[in-house]
Amino acid sequence: MIRVGIVGASGYTGGETIRILLRHPQVEIVQATSESNAGHYLHTIHPNLRKQCQLKFIPIGELQPCDVLFLCLPHGSAMRRIGQLESLAKTVIDLSADFRLRNADDYVTWYGHAHEAPAYLAQFVYGIPELHRQEIKKSRLLTGAGCLATASILGLRPLFLHDVVARREVIIEAKVGSSAAGDTPNLSTHHPERSGSMRSFQATGHRHTAEILQEVGLGQSLDVHFSATAIEAVRGILATCHVFLKDGVEEKDIWKVYRTEYGNEPFIRIVKERQGIYRYPEPKILAGTNFCDIGFEKDPRGSRLVVMSALDNLVKGAAGNGVQAMNLTCGLPETTGLEFPGLHPV
């Protein structure tokens, strides 16, 4: 059994990591931290864990060594204590933004502050298995990816890898549910204000842009025009991405690109149907699953390709992707513990 600890276990990402790992046949959750909830049962915060788990939150200072540590702390916290935390476990999987960017300067540019542990940046692997499977297998320091970044990158990267795009430019409009903003109440998340909203909370300058540049740019220049809109949903992301194809590239070529990249991926499905009402990816049927569904449609009147990429921000956009990466580093089948297929209707 892999002995796992979750640091920052009272948040939504922490709770989802626990939810998944409780059913993981090779994992035992041995500790879960929360400063403000120390001493209380996990299910006092995560009511879906009733009768599932008798663990109590502990303060971070009481962490014991274990095999794998998941860090689910607010952004900015992990970098301050990474030295101590990485000494406690063979493998550390940080689901915050603190180690996602390879270039320390990018933290100044996108996060507005210098990185506090820049020496670690080269050691962490950007932990999306579909992108960096071999590096993940060899690494003991893994970082998760931004939820909006994951949807965008998985949708767009194959097109740039296969060089079918005419312009080095993408326009992305990402729609996202309320759980992506975390578990802290404020006026913008107050139900009467947030319910039914279509809120342009980040029309420009979203921090996940940096990850898309890093992982889709592939070392060359790229213009990423990213906007994010909060809509009525708790879980779920749909990234609608526009790129412009080289002359002569047709839909069948795009099929080939995606099949080449993702044909064997257990968690990526190409969704493009001629009929039915779920012809393209839809996040609602992905709630609780680790899938990223990707679809595309070429504009018959021009060179534009629209790529639609959907996932559950708390699973493939956070906890599930982290467990998938953990499975890789531990030599387990990647899908272990991640078999939930999603609900319909829902």
Q: Does residue 345 bind a copy of itself (CB under 8 A)?
A: yes
Report in angstroms how near the CB of residue 246 gets to a copy of itself at its nearest: 16
The strand pairing partners of 177, in sequence order, are: none
Among 66, 72, 147, 292, the one annotated catalytic: 147
Of the candidates 5, 13, 118, 101, the residue with the CA atom closest to the CA atom of residue 58: 5
Q: 245 vs 165, 256, 297, 314, CA distance in Å?
A: 4, 14, 12, 32
94 neighbors 325 (Cβ within 8 angstroms):
no
Stretch that binds a copy of itself, among 139-147, 250-258, 286-294, 320-328 (CB under 8 A): 286-294
Q: Does residue 12 bind a copy of itself (CB under 8 A)?
A: yes
CA-CA distance, 200 to 209, in Å (whole number)?
Answer: 16
Letters for 290-309 (x = contact with a copy of itself by CB under 8 A, - = none) are ---x-x-xxxxxx-x-x-x-
Q: Are strands 237-244 and 169-176 parallel, antiparallel or unpaired?
A: antiparallel
- At 123, list the tokens: 């050691």
Is the CB of 86 or the CB of 106 nearer to a copy of itself? Answer: 106
Q: Does residue 339 bind a copy of itself (CB under 8 A)?
A: yes
Q: Are strands 304-311 and 292-298 parallel, antiparallel or unpaired?
A: antiparallel
Is the CB of 146 or the CB of 177 nearer to a copy of itself? Answer: 177
Is the CB of 81 or the CB of 242 nearer to a copy of itself? Answer: 242
CB atoms within 10 A of CB 119: 10
* Binding-residue total with a copy of itself (CB under 8 A): 91
Concatenated DSSP letters of 47-104? GGGTTT---B-B-GGG---EEEEEE-PPTTTHHHHHHHHHTTEEEEEE-SSTT--S-H
Stretch that binds a copy of itself, among 139-147, 214-222, 245-253, 285-293 (CB under 8 A): 285-293
334 neighbors 266 (Cβ within 8 angstroms):
yes
Using CB under 8 A, which residues numbered 106 to 165 contact a copy of itself?
Answer: none
Is the CB of 105 or the CB of 339 nearer to a copy of itself? Answer: 339
Using CB under 8 A, which residues numbered 52 to 71 contact a copy of itself?
Answer: 52
Using CB under 8 A, which residues numbered 220 to 239 contact a copy of itself?
Answer: 223, 225, 227, 229, 231-236, 238
Using CB under 8 A, which residues numbered 181 to 210 contact a copy of itself?
Answer: 183-200, 203-205
Report in angstroms how near the CB of residue 222 gets to a copy of itself at its nearest: 12
CB atoms within 10 A of CB 77: 18
Using CB under 8 A, which residues numbered 164 to 183 contact a copy of itself?
Answer: 171, 173, 175, 177-179, 183
Q: Does residue 278 bind a copy of itself (CB under 8 A)?
A: yes
What's the one-letter identity of residue 134?
Q
Helix (H) or strand (E) holding 173: strand 169-176
Is the CB of 138 or the CB of 346 nearer to a copy of itself? Answer: 346
CB atoms within 10 A of CB 344: 9
Q: Select the residue interacting with a copy of itself from 28, 48, 163, 255 (CB under 8 A).
A: 48
- With a CB cutoff of 8 Å and minimum separation 6, the contacts of 64 are 5, 30, 31, 88
Stretch that binds a copy of itself, among 38-46, 77-85, 133-141, 247-255 (CB under 8 A): 38-46
Report in angstroms how near the CB of residue 11 gets to a copy of itself at its nearest: 11
Is 147 noted as a catalytic residue in this protein?
yes
244 neighbors 166 (Cβ within 8 angstroms):
yes
Report in angstroms how near the CB of residue 169 gets to a copy of itself at its nearest: 10
266 neighbors 317 (Cβ within 8 angstroms):
no
For residue 136, report the phi and psi dihedrals to the nearest 5 degrees.
Answer: -60, -45
Residues noted as catalytic? 147
